[in-house]
Amino acid sequence: MSRTASFLDRFVTLVVGVLLIGLGTGALIWNTTMVPDTPDQVTAPALVTATGTSWWPWAVAAGGAAAVVLGALWLLAHTPSPRAKPLRLNTSGDLGSITVDLGSLAAAAAQTLAAHHDVRVAKGKAVIDRGTRTIDLTVTGTAESADDLSALTDAIDTVCAHLVHATGDNSPATRAILHITTHPTRHPQHHLT
């Protein structure tokens, strides 16, 4: 899901939430004496007369079509990131075909990072992010001092450099997300990208 879709989801949720709170508050105080001169019924004579006009069915059809298009766009915006396809290493003039499964490469990179003594958990996956093949590495580690943090980032940099070396000129992007905790039994407290 893109940042724009995430922002729109949150914004629409906020607007709908505020409207529902306002509607609920209005319904609660409707039959009280807090607001003087509240009517017993809510009427909409303009809406009633509009339903009898010749343009009403067309307006409802246009609204329904717009709702279907918006719903389809919403569904497309929330599709998961596609998995990266195998990366072809040789050039078009070479004989034969050499490909690398980026998912396996990401898993191997995560396994290498997991062997580091300050790493608690390391996960890797290969995705296509905004049209670019990307290897995502998520690492949770412990760092009691700045030296520990430096050792962790050096290990991640080394693994990313090995990924670039293994894939050559066609190397995919690499993204490492490092979660740091100061004590091995506590949950991560910092988030570095």
Which residues form the domain of 64? 3-77
DSSP labels, 81-104: PPBPPPEE-S-TTSSS--EE-HHH
Question: Which pLDDT belongs to residue 64?
Answer: 95
Residues 44 and 98 in one domain: no
Residues 165 and 109 in one domain: yes
The mean pLDDT of the chain is 82
What does the alpha-carbon distance between residue 37 and residue 183 come to, in Å, rounded to a whole number? 63
Residues 55 and 110 in one domain: no
173 in any annotated domain: yes
Q: Are 134 and 173 contacting, i.e. CB atoms less than 8 angstroms apart?
A: yes
What does the alpha-carbon distance between residue 111 and residue 123 come to, in Å, rounded to a whole number? 8
Asked if the model's pLDDT at residue 70 lies above 50, the reply is yes
Domain endpoint, select from 77, 95, 119: 77
- For 40, other C-beta atoms within 10 Å of its C-beta total 6
51 in any annotated domain: yes
What does the alpha-carbon distance between residue 193 and residue 52 come to, in Å, rounded to a whole number? 60
Exposed, middle or buried by CB within 10 Å (0-12, 13-18, 19+), for 159?
Answer: buried
13 in any annotated domain: yes
59 in any annotated domain: yes
- C-alpha triplet 50, 51, 57: angle, nearest 5°: 110
Q: Is pLDDT larger for residue 193 or for residue 10?
A: 10
167 in any annotated domain: yes
Domain endpoint, select from 51, 77, 103: 77
What does the alpha-carbon distance between residue 159 and residue 140 come to, in Å, rounded to a whole number? 15
Asked if the model's pLDDT at residue 177 lies above 60, the reply is yes
Pairing between strand 190-192 and 173-181?
Answer: antiparallel
Question: Which pLDDT belongs to residue 189?
Answer: 47
Residues 104 and 185 in one domain: yes
Encode pLDDT of 160-173 as tens digits: 888 888 777 667 88
The tally of domains found in the chain comes to 2
Asked if the model's pLDDT at residue 180 lies above 80, the reply is yes
CA nearest 75: which of 15, 12, 1?
Answer: 1
Q: What is the CATH number of the domain that holds 156?
A: 3.30.70
Question: Which pLDDT belongs to residue 188?
Answer: 47
Residues 63 and 110 in one domain: no
Encode pLDDT of 77-121 as tens digits: 887 766 767 777 666 666 777 777 888 888 998 999 888 888 888
82 in any annotated domain: no
Residues 71 and 94 in one domain: no
187 in any annotated domain: yes
What does the alpha-carbon distance between residue 128 and residue 80 come to, in Å, rounded to a whole number? 10
Q: What are residue 167's phi and psi, to 5 degrees?
A: -100, -10
